[in-house]
Amino acid sequence: MASNEYVIPEHYEDLTPAPQLDQKTLNKMAWRSCFLQASFNYERMQAAGWLYSIIPGLEKIHTNKNDLAASMSHNLEFFNTHPFLVTFVMGIVLSLEQNKVDIPTIRAVRVAAMGPLGGIGDALFWLTLVPITAGITSNMAINGNAAAPIIFLVIFNVVQFALRFWLMNWSYKLGTSAIDALTANMQAFTRAASIMGVFVVGCLVVTMGGTQINLQIPNGTTRGLSATTVIVSEKEAENFTGMEGIDTETAEAGTIAMTDEDGNALTASDADGNAVECGVTDLGNGMESVTYGTVTEDPVNFSVADTLNTIVPKLVPLMLTLLLYYMFAKHSWTPTKGILLLFVLGILGAGPLGLWPSIW
């Protein structure tokens, strides 16, 4: 304790149970619980905010000033729970305070109740409600829908305040027995919430993960013969028929020919990709239709993205998520370290100073 002279007593002076707290006081405290973290600090965390929240109830319960001081003092000890579920702890603690239970008992119940709620609240709010509502409304916002922030706020706060007020009343009525009710199913509940949580994260990797390696690797060239058909006079046609035969495998791109080295007619492909035999057709009016082939050489690109997608779409987001998970879980990386890693990765991948082509 910071104070040397003040010692928190074990029992209250006035041991007569106080009258039930009225609905107005309960609601007032539920409202005040929104400011649980007002004076958050690393020494006592939410302690002063917790005390602030329950002051209306304590004032009603402890009409004896010494008891009020004792109650306030022990309620200013280290406190940390989930900010949205705190009213559950408030209800229980106040039902104990009202019955003037021993201070060590109240302290033990308070500590017992605040711990597990953190995990449940995280699972419920940060891991389920926020990812789902914010995920859906973010997409709406990106599409320019101005209602998105409002929808997010409405859903989030309806759930939040319904829980705050309902838990306050429910746990105050249940008193200590509520702890048993909760702890009986606590493990199963936390497990179910976690299952839903990891399931949703798996979904988010797909729906939100847009990272793709858009790198095209040059992978040689393809050679081909493209067919061209022209109508020329008989005289001009001789220029074509007189052309030397070529080896299509070695001839330079742009070379025109109708026959191969052995004098056989070439087969070229026309604009629609159909095979056409090169040759000359007499149209009978002094004109001839000449079909010749042009050697083409097109660069072929190997698309990293297409290849990865044939393994499984969204492979890059999945791998990045798993890599980060591995670093966080097995190497105790902080999220900040992960952010820095992605920063470096993003910038290196973009080819800093034009040193290499961007992969993004």
Partner 1 sequence: MEYTIFQVALVFIVTFVAAIDQFNFLESLYQPIVTGAVIGLILGDLNTGLLVGGTYQLMTIGNMPIGGAQPPNAVIGGIMAAILAIATGLEPNAAVGLAIPFALLGQLGVTLVFTLMSPLMSSADNMAHNADTKGIERLNYFAMALLGLIFAVVVTLFFIAGATIGQTIASAIPTWLQTGLSAAGGMMRFVGFAVLLKVMMNRDMWGFFFMGFGLALITVANDSLATPALLILALIGFGIAFWDFQQQTELKGAAVSDGGDFEDGI
Residues 217-256 contacting partner 1, CB under 8 A: none
Stretch that binds partner 1, among 86-94, 202-210, 220-228, 282-290 (CB under 8 A): 202-210
**Shortest Cβ distance from residue 1 to partner 1 (Å)?**
7
Q: Is 311 in the site for partner 1 (CB under 8 A)?
A: no
Q: What is the x/- site pattern for partner 1, positions 4-43, by CB under 8 A?
A: --x---------------------------xxxxxxxxxx
| DSSP 8-state secondary structure symbol assigned to residue 353 | G
Which ranges constitute the DSSP H helices of the chain?
A: 23-32, 47-61, 65-74, 86-98, 103-121, 130-142, 148-174, 177-208, 234-241, 304-311, 315-330, 335-349
User: In the structure encoding, which two tokens stand for residue 292, read together?
Assistant: 């010749």
Smallest gap from Cβ 83 to partner 1, in A, equals 7
Binding string to partner 1 for residues 124 to 163, with x set by CB under 8 A, is what? --xx--xxx-xxxxxxxxx-xxx-xx--xx--xx--x---
Cβ proximity to partner 1: between 132 and 304 the closer is 132
**Contact call for residues 117 and 85 (beta carbons, < 8 A):** yes
Among residues 14, 72, 267, 304, the one that binds partner 1 under rule CB under 8 A: 72
Q: Which of 250, 234, 243, 328 is nearest to 287 (CA)?
A: 234
Q: Which of residues 109-128 bind partner 1 (CB under 8 A)?
A: 118, 122-123, 126-127
Comparison of 149 and 299: residue with beta carbon closer to partner 1: 149
Q: Single out the segment in contact with partner 1 by CB under 8 A; choices: 54-62, 87-95, 105-113, 234-242.
A: 54-62
144: three-class secondary structure by DSSP: coil
Residue 48 C-beta: closest distance to partner 1, Å: 5
Give the one residue of 44, 93, 248, 251 binding partner 1; rule: CB under 8 A.
Answer: 44
Q: How many chain residues are in contact with partner 1, going by CB under 8 A?
A: 122
Closest among 131, 130, 127, 129 to 190, alpha carbons compared: 127
Contact set for partner 1, span 250-309 (CB under 8 A): none
- Choosing from 211, 228, 269, 296, the residue that interacts with partner 1 (CB under 8 A) is 211
**Shortest distance, CB of residue 8 to partner 1, whole angstroms?**
9
- What's the CA gap between 1 and 43, in Å, rounded? 12
* Interactions with partner 1, residue window 75-114 (CB under 8 A): 75-76, 80, 83-84
Candidate residues 202, 222, 230, 277; the one interacting with partner 1 per rule CB under 8 A: 202
Options 99, 269, 294, 321; binder of partner 1; rule CB under 8 A: 321
CA-to-CA distance for 109 and 236, rounded, in angstroms?
105
* Strands 287-303 and 256-257, bridge-based pairing: antiparallel
The dihedral sign for the CA sequence 309, 312, 313, 317: negative
Q: What whole-number distance in Å separates Cα of residue 150 and Cα of residue 156?
A: 10
- d(C-alpha 314, C-alpha 296), whole Å: 36
Quote the CA–CA distance of 255 and 252 in Å, as a whole number.
6
Structure tokens at 334: 């902080």
* Min dist. Cβ of residue 27 to partner 1 (A): 16
Shortest distance, CB of residue 18 to partner 1, whole angstroms? 16
Query: Tokens in use for 95?
Result: 């039902």
C-alpha angle 85/88/94, rounded to 5°? 140
Q: Which of residues 173-192 bind partner 1 (CB under 8 A)?
A: 180-182, 184-185, 187-189, 191-192
Please tell me what DSSP assigns to residue 301.
Answer: E
Of 21, 29, 52, 225, the one binding partner 1 by CB under 8 A: 52
| 1 binds partner 1, rule: CB under 8 A | yes
